Amino acid sequence: MLPLSDVIHLAITGVAQGCAYGLIALGFVLIYKATEVVNFAHGEFMMLGAFAVLMLSEALGWGFWPSFLVGCLSIAVVGYIVDAQIMRRIIGESQASIFILTVAFGFIFRALAGMAFGWNARFAAATARSTSAAEPRLIRPQTSSVAGLMTSNGFGVTGSTHLPSM
CA count, 13 A, side-chain hemisphere, 47: 17
41 vs 141: CA distance, rounded Å = 22
* Share above pLDDT 90 across residues of the chain, in percent, rounded to a whole number: 31
Contact (Cβ atoms closer than 8 angstroms) between residue 113 and residue 47:
yes
Question: Under 8 Å CB-to-CB from 66, ≥6 apart: which residues?
Answer: 56
Residues 67-87: tens digit of each pLDDT: 999 998 999 999 899 989 998
pTM for this prediction? 0.62
Give residue 109's pLDDT band: very low, low, confident or very high (50, 70, 90).
very high
pLDDT at 122: 67
Non-local (6+) Cβ contacts of 58 within 8 A are: 124
Helical H runs in the chain? 4-35, 42-54, 64-82, 88-90, 95-117, 143-159
Q: What's residue 121's pLDDT? A: 74
Q: Terminus-to-terminus CA distance in the chain, angstroms?
A: 61
**pLDDT of 119-163, one tens digit each?**
887 665 533 344 444 444 444 444 444 444 554 445 544 444 444
Close Cβ partners of 12 (under 8 Å, ≥ 6 residues apart): 143
